[in-house]
Amino acid sequence: METSHQGAPQRLGDYEILQWLATGGMAEVYLARRRGARGFTKQVALKRILPKFASHREFVTMFINEAQLCSGLTHPNLVEVFDFGEEDGELFMAMELVDGTNCAKLVRAAAARGETVPIEDALFITLNVLRALEFAHDAENEKGEPLKLVHRDVSPGNVLISRTGAIKLADFGIARATPLEHCTENGQLKGKLGYMSPEQVMGQDLDRRSDLFTLGIILAELLSGRPLFAYGTETDILVRIRDADISTFLRYSKGIPTELREIVRKALARSPEARYQHAGSFAEAIESFVRQHRLALGPVRLAAYLEALGLVKPASRSGEFRFRGILDSTPRAKPMRCPEPPVMNESAPVTYRVRLDDGSLQGPFPLARILERLITGRIPPNAQVSRNDGPFLALCEHPELRRIASRSSSQWDFTVNAAEGQVIRFDERTLPYHLYEIALKAPTATLLAIHGLDRKKIHIKEGSVSLVSSTDPSELLGERLLRANRILPIELDMALALAPRHGGRVGDALVGLGILRPLELFQALYEQTFERTAALLSWTEGELWLLPPENYEEDGLPWGISLLEMITRGILQTYKETTLHRFLDGITTLPLHPGPRSAPCPTALRLPPGPTTALLAVDGVRSLTDLLRSPPSPKPTELEILQGIYIGLASGALRVEGC
């Protein structure tokens, strides 16, 4: 398949690409033309999946599902899909071309003129989208079974307005129907930030009432000329949606009739049960208001307003329009407006740039990414940071970064000399021996482990560990909770943004948001501490630096975990049977003896029953080979015997004759 110099295809199937139109989250849209017999041509909007997602199974499935869904949904207020095809592995669909603009551009253009969209036009748009949603929500499959379809992305950019004033709802790319629920993972968040329902933000099950809430957002913004939720930081947006905080609309809609304000208020109720239950009931409320106030709605009025704003070229019509879109000279009711035209606020989320000592720049990063890079040591403590392209300042001069940048667990630049501590070099065979030796000395120290570019700090107090920090981003608390499906990505973003208010502790922010209970947080921190230590046992070489203790108490667990137990668990999780055979090769026929009285007992090592049985079976006569041939009772498995003997030798609980 040939492509243009810009990377766009010149043809897809039977369609000639004429012009790029737009790029969305997973696809891009082109103006295309299909030629037929005897000079027949038709222009369409051709949508293809973005090349970077072409091999991504979930996106491909979503794209195919969109085509399948839309092909069965034919309604005047829905964008029609004409064709679906594949060319050299690229999927595309041909859709109805809507020559005009969209609701997002309409609100911005009106706000730029210091006015709001007239009530008649706002209600006409909303009613037509409600007709589309009512049809989609009630759609059935070929067997007459309800699809229970939810659009999930009713946002201003997906409400298309033709230059003749026709309204079309587009983009069913992330819609969910009952037979297609497998294509979106349980709890996965979709939709555009600022245009989601409270239940969508919180990762709960969605139904048609979620679409009605997001349409309520559009109506509120058409009437007020202000973003309802989408201003400030990402966290501010999400919290407003979660709480259904419509104070912005109430503040800037005082000139709107009370009945209409109540319609919007009901559409935006936090609880789905308190909203309109069907698109039809929402539409009936609007139609009743229109009749009561004798408003004149229609595409002609809206089309003329689009022309006045310069959003579309004049359409071909019979007769001429006056400036405000009146088709003839018949007197009309004066358009209803808010008395205080506000200015559209489009505040961008906060971003940061980092300047290093050598003058190089990194970024821009959102707050969440800056926090991650600080915690994992990828931003040095002497770096300077610019907030929203402001002046470059030291980390400590940014209040939201000061706490994390200054805490000891986030410091990774170290030097060590004989006066400060000692350096122990290890390989995969000797690492457990060194770790057990350190644990048995019961030190109060900071143990810095280095393996290439990876760093771990284990804070030890009298043989117990209360904090393990790491430069590995995958070991961060939030990433672990995501992998375990304990939280949603959007919940992690909220917690990261609020972390500075909680001393940089993401876990406390999760509790503060009500996402985790305190007990769940402690369990997660406990497991994170174990797993970070266990990961150390997978290192094949490196250095251990035993350094003076640091002040880490405010970041640590409320009580410590035995370092002996953590090392043992790391060995059990990390070393497979083949690895243990390799480590024990050479001593398999030598008699095994119990260690000295000072050696740790199986209880202190927290060994499971099988390895404990193997360790206690050592009598100074039998060898590992003997134990494997004739296991003690109750019989442990071969792996459990290898684990018990290896851990016993590494910890000093066992010794080998002659070694």
Question: Which residues are catalytic, by number?
Answer: 153
Smallest CA-to-CA distance from 281 within 294, 267, 292, 268 is with 267
Spatial distance between the Cα atoms of 300 and 532, rounded to a whole number of angstroms: 65
Instruction: List beta partners, residue 330.
Output: none
Backbone angles phi, psi at 173, to 5 degrees: -65, -25
Distance of CA 124 to the CA centre of its chain: 35
Spatial distance between the Cα atoms of 360 and 206, rounded to a whole number of angstroms: 46
For 467, other C-beta atoms within 10 Å of its C-beta total: 24
Smallest CA-to-CA distance from 612 within 645, 656, 574 is with 645
Instruction: Assign 467 to helix, strand or coil.
Output: strand
For 348, other C-beta atoms within 10 Å of its C-beta total: 9
Tell me how far CA of residue 260 lies from CA of 253, 263, 594, in angstroms.
10, 5, 84
Instruction: Assign 205 to helix, strand or coil.
Output: coil
């709960």: which residue's tokens? 204
Sign for the CA dihedral angle at 241, 243, 244, 245 comes to negative
Spatial distance between the Cα atoms of 458 and 466, rounded to a whole number of angstroms: 8
- Residue 363 burial (C-beta neighbours within 10 Å; 0-12, 13-18, 19+): middle
Instruction: Assign 361 to helix, strand or coil.
Output: strand
Q: Across the chain, how many H-helices and E-strands are there?
A: 23, 21
